[in-house]
A and B are shown apart, each in its own frame.
Chain A
Amino acid sequence: MNSRQVQSLTLLTLLVVTSGCGYSRWARGVGAFSLPAPAALAQVDSAYLGVSTIHTLEEESTLIDHYSSTGYRPGQLTDFIKQDDLRAREAAISVLRDYAIMVSDLALGKREQELAAKTKSLTSTTAAGVRTAMATTASTNTTTNTTTATNTTSNAVKVNTTLTDTTTNAGSSTKTGSVTSTLTSSRNTLMTQQQMNMVISGMDAAIKPFIHHMVKKRLRPLMKAADPTIQQLCVLLSEDLVTLRSQAKSDYLVLLMGQSEFIQRNMYKFSPLELRAETKKLYQIERDAAKADSDLTNASDAVKRLAETHHQLVTGERHGAK
């Protein structure tokens, strides 16, 4: 190898290593957006259902409290969120989730993982097949050569050494020399398991930078184009969460006041155990209210983080996004 070839090889190695590092940093940035996204969006999804359920409880409780004056009429309970409005949110959440999963699969190498699994299974199947072939050959031989034993125990499966055993079995001293030379030359042309593994590893190393380049080059503009819509959707979800939080707070307050009123009105009609059970509900409502408020705040924070991380990723503000 001359000095120019050495220089070219060094340059190529540096290029591959550098682009590999850049890709890893970018992929980590994508992961910071896409990996927490499904959980964050699930929180938002359940917030709509949670607040609707609390509102129905509040309506039901109020109707029960006013039963003596208003009586019962079917259809008094209403949905807090209309079905069409809810469907619009579900569609937006689902599209954001799909986007995050697809981006994550591509940038974080789901394909590579599948490929590695395929290679592993392929290699082990081949090795098992070759071992079976060797075992079959060995069982037909009456004489055992020490070379065969050595090769059977090692994973570097050199089937051609078995051929040497077979020639020994022929027992002809005059033919052994020529056959050995033929086999020696054929030994060089046969591929060992070790060699095949090396070729496969080489292919992996050669194809990965190509896939990384293709993904980064084509995915980044798509993510950049998607960013304004991602921001818009996250703002809409955040505003919804503000609305949901105020509704939940108010509904729990009415539930709490209603329950307190109910206890005050009937305090002397309750048995001690009933009074205890009804009073306990006040604290339960208070705990539920605090938990709902905390969940809604967390969901809101998660959506804000999602929007920020995505924006930083496409504008290059996030470390390694460039």
Chain B
Amino acid sequence: MEQSEVRILVATAQNSVAAAFWVATDAGVRQSLSDLGLCLNQVLTLLNQEDLSSRAEEFNCAADWMRGSVLPGIKKLDASVERVTQVEGAVKVALSDAMKLSQSVSFFKLPSIV
């Protein structure tokens, strides 16, 4: 029997126990059902914990591959886009400077023209 099948079986048993618990009126029966519910919960917890720890390696491998292969590629592309925009930004600043300069030159050139 596979782990997932055992989990389904435990969950079904737990639901049956709970259904019986809510209709039981006898204190002793209720106590027994509550204890049984607790036992089933402990079994399920063990199964779940095993499930979670068995996949840690797969998570690690996949995350490592993404971190080592994909993200550096995107970072590299991001850097080249940044360089292009920087060049464009520099040209814009140069344009602005040229405009300011052309105006200043006109101001100061005037007396010599006159």
Q: A-side interface residues toward B, CB under 8 Å?
A: 55, 58, 62, 80-82, 84-85, 88-89, 91-92, 94-96, 98-99, 102-103, 105-106, 111, 114-115, 118-119, 122, 125-126, 129-130, 133, 137, 159-160, 163, 166-167, 170, 175, 179, 182-183, 186, 189-191, 193, 196, 199-200, 203-204, 207, 210-211, 214-215, 218-219, 222, 225-226, 229-230, 232-233, 236, 239-240, 243-244, 246-247, 249-251, 253-254, 257-258, 260-261, 264-265
Q: How many residues of B contact A (CB 8 A)?
A: 63
Q: Are A236 and B58 in contact (CB under 8 A)?
A: yes
| Complex Cα gap A313–B5 (Å) | 35
B23 close to A (CB within 8 Å) = no
> What chain A residues lie within 8 Å of B65 (beta carbons)?
229
Q: A102-B71, A102-B75, A225-B70 are in contact. List 19 more A-B contacts (CB 8 A).
A: A88-B55, A96-B66, A106-B74, A106-B77, A115-B85, A126-B99, A130-B100, A130-B103, A133-B104, A166-B110, A211-B85, A214-B77, A222-B73, A229-B62, A236-B58, A254-B37, A258-B34, A261-B34, A264-B27
| Complex Cα gap A91–B59 (Å) | 8
Q: Are A219 and B84 in contact (CB under 8 A)?
A: no
- Cβ contact of A82, chosen from B53, B59, B73, B107, cutoff 8 A: B53
**Closest-CB distance, A62 to chain B (whole angstroms):** 6
**Closest-CB distance, A2 to chain B (whole angstroms):** 31
Q: Are A236 and B62 in contact (CB under 8 A)?
A: yes
Q: Are A253 and B41 in contact (CB under 8 A)?
A: yes
| Complex Cα gap A228–B112 (Å) | 73
> What chain A residues lie within 8 Å of B49 (beta carbons)?
80-82
Q: A85-B53, A85-B56, A182-B113 are in contact. Are A247 and B44 (CB under 8 A)?
A: yes
| Complex Cα gap A120–B113 (Å) | 36
Q: How many residue pairs bridge A and B at CB < 8 Å? A: 199
Chain B residue nearest to A261 in the complex (CB): B34
| Complex Cα gap A199–B41 (Å) | 71
| Complex Cα gap A52–B58 (Å) | 21
Q: Interface majority SS on A: helix, strand, loop or mixed?
A: helix
> What chain A residues lie within 8 Å of B41 (beta carbons)?
58, 250-251, 253-254
> What chain B residues lie within 8 Å of A218 (beta carbons)?
73, 77
Q: Are A233 and B62 in contact (CB under 8 A)?
A: yes
Q: Are B107 and A122 in contact (CB under 8 A)?
A: no
**Closest-CB distance, A297 to chain B (whole angstroms):** 16
| Complex Cα gap A94–B21 (Å) | 43
Which residues of B67-114 are within 8 A (CB) of A?
67, 69-71, 73-75, 77-78, 80-82, 84-85, 88-89, 91-93, 95-96, 98-100, 102-104, 106-107, 110, 113-114
> What chain A residues lie within 8 Å of B93 (beta carbons)?
122
Q: A82-B53, A240-B52 are in contact. Are A196 and B99 (CB under 8 A)?
A: yes
**Closest-CB distance, A123 to chain B (whole angstroms):** 8
**Closest-CB distance, A126 to chain B (whole angstroms):** 5
| Complex Cα gap A258–B41 (Å) | 12
> What chain A residues lie within 8 Å of B99 (beta carbons)?
126, 130, 191, 193, 196
Q: Are A257 and B21 in contact (CB under 8 A)?
A: yes
> What chain B residues lie within 8 Å of A226 (beta carbons)?
66, 70
